[in-house]
Amino acid sequence: MGSSTRASGSTDGAVARQPSRSRSAWLDALTRLRRSRGAWVGAVILGLIVLSVLGAGVLSPQDPLAVNADVTFAPPGPKYPFGTDILGRDILSRMLFGGRLSLVTGVISVSFALLLGVPMGVLSGFYGGLTDRLIMRLVDLMLTFPGILLALVIVAVLGPSLMNAMIAVGVSASPTYARVVRATTLASKTEAYIEAARALGCSSPRIIVRHVLPNTVAPLIVLGTLGVAGAMISAAALSFLGLGAQPPDPEWGALLSEGRSYLRVAWWMTVFPGLAIMVTVLAINLLGDGLRDALDPRLRGRT
Amino acid sequence: MLQYIVRRLLLTIPTIFAISLVVFLMLHAVPGDPAIIFAGDKNVTPEQLAFVRRDMGLDRPIAVQYLDYVTRIFRWNLGRSLYSRIPVTMEIGNRISSSAELAAAAFALAVTLGIVLGVISALWRSTWIDVAAMSFAITGVSMPIFWLAQMLIFVFAIHLGWFPVTGDGGLSRLFLPALALGLISSATLARLVRSSVLEVLALPYVTTARSKGLAEMKILARHVMKNAFIPIITVMGLQFGTLLSGAVITETVFARPGMGKLLIDAILIKDFPVIQAVVLFVSLIYVLVNLLVDISYGLLDPRIRFD
């Protein structure tokens, strides 16, 4: 984004001129982040969405699973702001409860990706040699399956369910994390403080945990945030295809899948859940872009 | 250059074997006995299972089975669908043209739109043009393709009646799916084109070219784009992968009888010969695209050949 690039550029100058004001790199980053308009907009929208899905129990006008045959396919109106589906269930209430599932799905998928990718990257970068070659061949192999194809393979093997969809999305995203962590590990391995730690007699696991991993935190925050956005779309896509969340779970992708058959008679079943996914993912992307510009300008354009 | 191409070609051989191994192991990674999948029914007698196991060769050592699988790939014999009983290669053959048509149209749209938007917003950086183009791009990145596809159907097919809703054949049935797939892919590309053009614009030789009075258009064509194109081509290759998986969803939404729909239908009914063949086929195409991307690096940048 033009404005955020300019903002971070000018702040770099400001920080350089007054180095004594903020000593920590994290504080610098926070200052840069606060000046990014996109990050603000993203954070505020995301905050509102998180609050409303957390408060789904209070905010929902209806019971999300309550079937009411008298009001099937009610168009949006005062009683049902986003209309109802074929069973007379309130779309807004289903979206509020389903949002919990969708957001949690994104976060859990990325957690799986981190759990798998970070150890792979650190071991590969730190130990080098045969370990590095084996792990990187595995990463390359996973990357030869384009886009969500690897996730589809995993779901095909494990069977369709929301949990398996999250595992599939997480595993197929892990190579990116492994690569970034490996690159950061390689860069920090040559630093003098690693040599100093070794001279003091620190064990390799201790060096990895205390001195190498902290360097990977900044890029991982950026990638992880943008990753939640990507994972939400992928998981919703799997649910939409009938390979993720199963009815009657109101996950947003599953809601869209339900609406698909009734596009002619009930457009509201498709429009609102889709908007919810888009706005949430957009907010996370804006926040992620801001974080990237603030924390790790080198990553710009790579995601 | 020839040496570079040959070396790069040789490198794809182990990749292809690794892919075939993963696709082969898929069947054996499924919890339970693979013979049950082929028997197609959970209530089969042990005798029937034993027969299927012997019939399909599942009782042999796994290494022998893999060798057999590789041999069959070379003979282009990937078994029959468990449900339609049609040879899988024939199923793929019937559907490939529909998918190729969609992928080509969407890729053309994505590349044109992505490069134009990216270059324009880099040249007019921080103006309203840049803001508008990049707002479009980040919206595109955040939009689920299955939703965009359905919105296009709702507006242009159901509401306005300009296009048929679903199906295959003819430009009118290709337009909406290609638009959905192309728009989504152009968004990522536009963002990357912008940042790589900006990066090159800041290099000293661009300043030199300007200071010697070269026309801006000439600088752009001769100095900027040629160098900006290397990262752009990488992402175009990657985007092609995204396009392949996006096609899976687009085909499902528009009920186009392509490879993607074949794959999803097969996953839903656990038709493993079909799943394995489509995954193998799509991955091989992706390997081929990446090979072409790498070869084009060598053509664009002589330094890469001598690495």
For residue A28, give the 3-state DSSP assignment: helix
The minimal CB distance from B195 to the residues A6, A149, A300 is found for: A300
* Length in residues, chain B: 307
- Nearest residue of A to residue B191 by CA position? A301
Cβ contacts of A173 on chain B, cutoff 8 Å: none
The minimal CB distance from A3 to the residues B22, B126, B287 is found for: B126
Q: pLDDT value at position A13?
A: 40
Question: How far is it, in rounded angstroms, from Cα B46 to Cα A200?
Answer: 64
Partners of B87 in the beta sheet? B80
pLDDT at residue A61 tops 60: yes
Is B154 an interface residue toward A (CB < 8 Å)?
A: yes
Pick from B143, B170, B167: which is nearest to B153 by CA? B167
The minimal CB distance from B18 to the residues A2, A141, A274 is found for: A141
Q: Tens digits of per-residue pLDDT, A202-252?
A: 888 899 888 889 888 888 988 999 999 999 999 999 999 989 988 888 889
Burial B176-215 (b: 16+ CB within 10 A, else e): bbbbbbbbbbbbbbbbbbbbbbbbbbeeeebeebeeeeee
Q: Tens digits of per-residue pLDDT, A33-55?
A: 777 888 889 999 999 999 999 98
Q: Tens digits of per-residue pLDDT, B151-197?
A: 998 888 888 888 887 776 777 788 889 999 999 889 988 988 898 88
H-type alpha helices, chain A: 2-17, 25-35, 37-54, 56-59, 91-127, 129-143, 149-158, 162-189, 192-199, 204-207, 213-240, 252-260, 268-295
Q: How confident is the model at residue A296 (pLDDT cuts 50, 70, 90)?
A: low
State the pTM of this model: 0.85
- Domains belonging to chain B, first-starting first, are 2-74 (no CATH), 96-300 (1.10.3720.10)
Backbone φ/ψ region at A301: left (φ over 0), alpha (ψ -120 to 50), beta? left
Q: Give A194 to chain B, closest Cα distance, Å.
A: 30
